[in-house]
Amino acid sequence: MSEVPRPSRERLTELFLMLTRVSSPSRSERAVADVVRSCLASCGVEIHEDHTGDVIGGDCGNLWCVVRGEGSGPHLALGAHLDTVPATDSLEPVLDEAGVFRNSRPAILGADDKAAIAAMLHATELLKASGEPFPSYELLFTVSEETGLVGVKHLAEDVLESPLAAVLDSSGPVGGVVVKAPSMVNLRATFRGRAAHAGVEPERGRSAVQAAAKAIASMHLGRLDRETSANVGVIHGGVATNVVPDLCEILGECRGHDEDRLAAVSAEMVDAVQRAAVEAGVDVDVELVHEFHAFALSARSPVVRLAKAAIVALGREPSMLTAGGGSDANVLNGRGLPTINLDTGMMRVHSPEEHLSLDQLEQLCLLVLHLIRLAPDHIPRAGSVVGGL
């Protein structure tokens, strides 16, 4: 396979609109999974589904398949997620006169991550229809990515056979490659005080809200250094102004690229919570959950070289990026599968201004085809250090 087939802009438009018309918030991905399954079935590819849906209370599991080409392999796994953040209005995607996909209603478009799904499906249709030999590869479609990479965390470790992986789930013009992403720790603190009438006998009360406020006020939040940040994003507590509140919960996070620094920052947040509880005379339960781990792939890593070669083959300039958030790539890298996260052309994701140009979608499909074509030249040799982590 020295050339790649030419994507059809009409078919990409049809696929993308078909996918983005279907609502698929986290844990309700069945309808969009059915579109993926029937599209792959019509080009003779059998798809597998795991039991993640049952385990996490969703209606669909993770999907994956091997698209068999010539020779050995698969060499490369391509990944996208099926879910979107919840839409605040209906999904009525259109392609406007300027060649840009938008939702005509004030809500997300769902290009995150349906741009990737459309590109992966169309690339597979083209390769299967071409009659030309192509290298074997895998496709992975995860569920509940948006709620903390839940689907991929439940994916069995032995599902993917490929030595390299590319997740297509970063916003920005095609050509960007996320090679570094942070680790994230979530914090949940539940302050338990004592309720009392605020006017009649306030001295009997112990305010959980005041304890939470003291804790937050004493934390270092925001950007702590170039690679570390902390935030308290949610506070719940109290029932009425005339009741000393006996319950208050705060939710926060910290993220960073250095695990030791992150451990120190999260320990400081826990200290602030516990100190404030003692000062206010309330009890507190505090919980830290390590949501995902950082990764950093070196420029010499085979999967990074593969991405660069594929982007150059497109005639674009590759740019190596550091992400501020996590993706399925964090989990796959954490399992020892070297995984990049690629920019897909989607813009302003998770907002009503989310959009994607048809030109970018076409470029993304071509990028997928070049990645598949070039993957056999970049598979790590036995005994070499593949991760560069």
Query: Is residue 125 part of the contact set for Zn ion (CB under 5 A)?
Result: no
Q: Which of residues 100-119 bind Zn ion (CB under 5 A)?
A: 112-113
Query: Based on CB atoms, which residue is closest to Zn ion, 74 or 151?
Result: 151
Query: Based on CB atoms, which residue is closest to Zn ion, 218 or 351?
Result: 351
Whole-number minimum distance, CB 129 to Zn ion, in Å? 28
Query: Based on CB atoms, which residue is closest to Zn ion, 50 or 169?
Result: 169
In contact, 209 and 245? CB cutoff 8 Å: yes
260 is catalytic: no
246 is catalytic: no
Structure tokens at 282: 């309330």
- Enumerate the H helices of the chain as residue ranges: 9-20, 30-42, 52-56, 111-130, 150-154, 208-217, 259-280, 302-313, 328-334, 358-374
Q: Which of residues 243-272 bind Zn ion (CB under 5 A)?
A: none
Query: Is residue 138 part of the contact set for Zn ion (CB under 5 A)?
Result: no
Q: How would you classify residue 45: left for phi > 0, otherwise alpha for psi between -120 and 50, otherwise beta?
A: beta
In contact, 178 and 329? CB cutoff 8 Å: yes
In contact, 154 and 62? CB cutoff 8 Å: yes
Amino acid identity at 387: G
Query: Is residue 169 part of the contact set for Zn ion (CB under 5 A)?
Result: yes
Q: Residue 236: beta bridge partners?
A: 249
Whole-number minimum distance, CB 339 to Zn ion, in Å? 14
Pairing status of strand 319-322 against strand 196-197: unpaired
In contact, 92 and 69? CB cutoff 8 Å: no
Whole-number minimum distance, CB 178 to Zn ion, in Å? 12
Binding region for Zn ion (CB under 5 A) out of 163-171, 175-183, 202-210, 230-238: 163-171
Binding region for Zn ion (CB under 5 A) out of 169-177, 305-313, 315-323, 361-369: 169-177
Query: Based on CB atoms, which residue is closest to Zn ion, 29 or 113?
Result: 113
* Total of chain residues touching Zn ion, rule CB under 5 A: 3
In contact, 179 and 320? CB cutoff 8 Å: yes
Catalytic member of 29, 50, 83, 328: 83
Q: Residue 296: beta bridge partners?
A: 180
Whole-number minimum distance, CB 169 to Zn ion, in Å? 4
Concatenated DSSP letters of 288-345 = EEEEE--EE--TTSHHHHHHHHHHHHTT---EEEE-SS--HHHHHHHTT--EEEEE-S
Whole-number minimum distance, CB 331 to Zn ion, in Å? 13
Whole-number minimum distance, CB 277 to Zn ion, in Å? 37
Whole-number minimum distance, CB 349 to Zn ion, in Å? 7
What letters, b where the CB count within 10 A reaches 16 and e where it falls short, cover 352-386?
A: bebbbbbebbbbbbbbbbbbbbbbbebbeeeeeeb
Binding region for Zn ion (CB under 5 A) out of 26-34, 162-170, 285-293, 339-347: 162-170
In contact, 19 and 109? CB cutoff 8 Å: no
Catalytic member of 29, 50, 138, 145: 145
Q: Which residues contribute to the site for Zn ion (CB under 5 A)?
A: 112-113, 169
| Residues with active-site annotation | 83, 145
